[in-house]
Structure 1
């Protein structure tokens, strides 16, 4: 098969793999947040999230990991000179980190399927940003093909991660304020009803 077809297939399955990783993280958060709901909403939501997670995980995410890896190894086999390039070494280190992230997601998936909740929604939100950081790093490495400035790249990725964490904390505060404002409005509405 022509190299460019293999490369195209690799890119397609990398995209679907990342899509699965991004969405499974959101489903984990929704599943954990449903724990605070009253019955029967809690059971209905968690049952639905389990089903959605199972389909996403085994129909999209795992197959995408295997196919993206298969086509990547095929490209490296056909073009071993890539392995001599420093930027490829750094990229492969990020890919290895992504494999570990995927494995940890599988652990969380299994726990939630057994109704074991071990992480808060906020921790899961921060955890869910790891593939974003890896995606940025890998895309810049592949496009720029430069490992010489990897120190600046690491500094940039760390700053990007810090900005993501600040954004998550800000989102949490805004969300808490909206919940409080909604609660106050409900109290005022209830007070109006009792006074009438």
Structure 2
């Protein structure tokens, strides 16, 4: 029974974590686009976006990440036989990389806050698709487990990533018309 409660909290945590990351990077897009606004509005908008970014990072992303990791680790302690399965090692590696992405987003907030140029709005749009790749890979690993051919998973996620890239590029061209 404990495992089911931990799994429920783990799912709630990662859904919230991904929602926060998607929203956060979307605000990076808007922050970058504020440079195109009239000078009278630009600084106020940037200050507002920075305040919103810190709130999302501190109030949604950080707690959700901690819930995800804590409940996941407790599930592993409660069910240590998972550690003998290869899928969990790949999932944990992806989670470490996702945590790195999370921390990288914090560095972007700091740079935008101080007015340092980071990426264009289009580059941020592409960066916003990266968690989608993590989400797809991690969920497939967690659901299908060892029945999944990891080479096909990698190639499928890579193909999905290229599809997202070309879709974003097509959308950019459509918006510019």
Scaled to the shorter chain, the TM-score interval is: over 0.9
SS at match of 1:40: helix
Q: Which residue does the alignment assign to 1:91?
A: 91
> Which structure is larger by alpha-carbon Rg, 1 or 2?
1
TM-score by length of 2: 0.96
- The residue correspondences of 1:73-92 to structure 2 (distance < 5 A) are 73-92=73-92
The structure, 1 or 2, with the larger RCO (C-alpha pairs under 8 Å, 6+ apart) is 2
User: 70-79 or 43-52, which moves further after superposition?
Assistant: 43-52
Q: Which residue does the alignment assign to 2:130?
A: 130
Unaligned runs of 5+ in 1: 178-196
In the TM superposition, residue 60 of structure 1 has moved relative to its aligned partner by 0.8
Give deviations 1:18-76, integer Å, cap 9, x for gaps. Answer: 11100000000100110121122212211211111111111111111111111111111
CA distance in 2, matches of 1:147, 1:158: 19
Q: Which residue does the alignment assign to 1:72?
A: 72
Q: Which residue does the alignment assign to 2:42?
A: 42
SS at match of 2:116: coil
RMSD after superposition: 1.2
Q: Which residue does the alignment assign to 2:5?
A: 5
Q: Which residue does the alignment assign to 1:26?
A: 26
**Structure 1 residues 7, 20: closer, same or farther in 2, change over 3 A?**
same
In the alignment of these two chains, the number of paired residues is: 177
SS at match of 1:163: helix
SS at match of 2:39: coil
Q: Which residue does the alignment assign to 1:192?
A: none
